[in-house]
A and B are shown apart, each in its own frame.
Chain A
Amino acid sequence: MIQNKFIASSTFRLALLYVTLFAASVLLLFSFIYWSSVRYMAAQSDAGIQTEIQTLSDRYERAGMPGLRRLILERITRQQPTGSSLYILTDPTGRHVVGNISRWPTVEPEDGWLNFRLETRDRDNPETHPARAKKFQLSGGFRLLVGEDIQELKAAQRQIIIALGWGVILTLVLGLAGGFFMSRRMLTRLETINQTSQNIIDGDLKSRVPVSARGDEFDRLAINLNQMLDQIQELMESIKQVSDNIAHDLKTPLFRLRQHLESLSKLSEISPEHTQALVQSLSEADRLLGLFNALLRIARIESEAVKKALQPVKLADLARDLAELYEPLAEEKHQALDVVIQQSPTVIGDQDMLFQALANILDNAIKYTPANGIIQVTVTEDANQAIIYICDNGPGIQADDHEKVFQRFVRLDHSRSKPGNGLGLSLARALLHLHDAAVELSGNHPGLCVKVEMPIDK
């Protein structure tokens, strides 16, 4: 998984591209070096042969055949057994006069040069070597061939190829290793930024990107990101603060207004119509107060300013109580409300808060599931996690909206006609998050399944 992530990273791909380009240019450079050195070596050898022919033909001019023979013999005997110079002199009939190769090579010359295979004189270990020679027509029908065993030259050329090849391999290995380490380093630093972003997405708004002492571009990025996050957090807090302040500040005058309405409605001298209007106003005021209270409550729970009365809570009992309380409501809508206890996990939490959260979810299920629907509350556990499912076979919620329904005041189109303030699920989630519980919506084909998952008390 990590390896895949690494290979998929753009730094690694960049490093790979860089290494490939670098290796290609190294290869090109080495090819040129090889090509020019081979050419130079061949030219050197050819020039040597040319000079030797010149020297020998000069000697022939001046000292005739015996002089030439002597010189060639001298050259042959003087050179090491491993020497590479080749000589052969034939008379006009083609007979061998002198030389260290036995017969005239049978290949056709190209531009006066002969490339042929030469059998070594070593009887024990016969092998053929490549050789290159030039022939020269002497006056009097004599033919001279001067050449060189280029086995050594070829070997040197091979040696160059091997050296250059190793060079390319070394370049590739070093380049890849360097790229690997460099990109892993970059990835590690980027990963810390990613991790921070993920923490923030997961709700830890206080998380920040660590800044090292180096002051490089990553640190500058981190500093900028952190400043941006500070600003966003400030803005979010001020928005929250403003809405909470509004709720808080309006609550008191609204409470007073309610008190006055209440006093008025108790007066004996007002008419029944007025009483009716006052009662309606009172219930409106109550609705508003309820809304503000819910808003403030969510704000306090989200800021974790509330104290939980922690105690072991048996989820099976909680689910049964919940179903018992809501069963008549479901029955009114001819809905079946079933409780299935598969396991009976105990969690640590505030019983009232958990009850409130589950009640809000169940209340929604009953509200949105049409008559004759089925609602099922399941309590189970899985790998140290207590799980409660509240599933219905109602209209469900589109997957795109699954996250949306938890936001404050969000009411999906089809729910606008139903009573409610759009805070029920927000409150439920805030309460569950306070208990390290995760809430997840999924389809129930048809309907909606709400899954609440929290750690089991060991």
Chain B
Amino acid sequence: MRILLIEDDQDVARHVSRGLKESGHVVDIAENGIDGFSLATEENYDVLVIDRMLPRLDGLTLIENLRSRNNLTPVLILSALGELEDRIIGLRAGGDDYLPKPFAFEELLARVEALGRRTFQGSANTHLKVSELEMDVLSRKVQRAGQAISLQPREFRLLEYLMRHSGQVVTRTMLLENVWDYHFDPQTNVIDVHVSRLRSKIDRDFEYPLLQTVRGAGYMLCDSE
């Protein structure tokens, strides 16, 4: 994917761009809002990663300007304000996702990749298939290798999200925000327990595991063995 990173903190910019490049992405960096805005309008990016506080033109205004020109490139907002509560303001300005600093790089990577995929893998698809696992979203049926699996409603939504982002790291926070639709900071890793329940249903009685734990990042549903 082609990613534009607009970030004035050179340390953060260097670290993030190196990580993204290592994951196989192409990264451009802009150090202020004006440069970032020119690059974003002139070039064609899959995802924009924009810091909220930028010299010359602040992040939120930049996004508003982009949106008013009908530029709909997905935007991940980074915020040093570090507040869950600021998320709303960021999203209202036209951001697609919001990540407070400090963040783990894996969290950023997972979100950037999720945003990038969103453009070409919509939720219109009602039949999902990952390896031998199949889901019919409309009839709410799940089967693996032809064997029906019965899931609770929440487990179904969890699996649906994982399947729509298969082959991609999905963090605990992403699951909480997208499957439960609550933006909060759980003190305990409640998500792990839900995932392990789901895992026992889709993986335990089968030859190989599909649902992987990615250390320090989250989970991934793999397409292949």
Contacts and interface: CB of A to CB of B under 8 A. Distances in A.
Contact of B194 (A258, A293, A328): A328
A359 B102 contact: no
B85 A307 contact: yes
A76 interface: no
B161 to A, nearest CB: 15
Contacts of B215: 279
Given A359-B186, A424-B187, A353 B197 contact: no
Contacts of A258: 102, 104
A332 B180 contact: no
A306 B85 CA distance: 6
Interface stretch (B11-19, B63-71, B164-172): B11-19
Given A325-B190, A353-B85, A263 B18 contact: yes
Interface stretch (A59-67, A138-146, A249-257): A249-257
Given A359-B184, A363-B188, A297 B12 contact: no
Nearest to A301: B85
Given A328-B197, A351-B182, A307 B88 contact: yes
A403 B216 CA distance: 37
Interface in B141-182: 154, 180, 182
Interface in A286-302: 286, 289-290, 293-294, 296-297, 300-301
A334 interface: no
17 contacts: A255-B102, A258-B102, A259-B11, A259-B105, A262-B15, A279-B215, A283-B216, A289-B102, A294-B185, A307-B85, A307-B86, A308-B85, A325-B190, A326-B190, A350-B85, A352-B182, A360-B187
Q: Chain A at the B interface: mostly helix, strand, loop or mixed?
A: helix
Interface in A278-335: 279, 282-283, 286, 289-290, 293-294, 296-297, 300-301, 306-309, 321, 324-326, 328-329, 332
Contacts of B186: 325, 359, 363
Contacts of A328: 190, 193-194, 197
Q: What interface size band does chain B fall in?
A: 20 to 34
A251 B105 contact: no
Contacts of A294: 185
B12 A306 contact: no
A336 B86 CA distance: 36
Q: Most chain-A Cβ atoms within 10 A of its Cβ — which of B11, B101, B105, B182?
A: B182
If over half of B's interface residues share one DSSP class (helix, strand or loop), that class is named, otherwise mixed; here it is helix
A282 B190 contact: no
A420 B188 CA distance: 9
Contacts of B25: none
Given A255-B102, A262-B15, 14 more contacts: A255-B101, A258-B104, A259-B12, A289-B102, A293-B102, A306-B83, A324-B154, A325-B190, A325-B194, A328-B193, A332-B193, A351-B182, A367-B188, A424-B187
User: Which among B12, B185, B215 has the greatest number of chain A C-beta atoms within 10 A?
Assistant: B185
Interface residues of A, number: 47
Contacts of A309: 88
B84 interface: yes
Nearest to A288: B102
Contacts of B89: 307
B127 interface: no
A329 B188 contact: yes
Given A259-B15, A351-B182, A329 B190 contact: yes
B193 A356 contact: no
Q: Which 5 A-B pairs give the minimum distances between C-beta atoms? A: A255-B102, A356-B184, A306-B85, A328-B193, A259-B15
Interface string B76-110: 00000011111011000000000011101100000
Interface string B127-141: 000000000000000
B204 interface: no
B22 interface: yes
Nearest to A259: B15
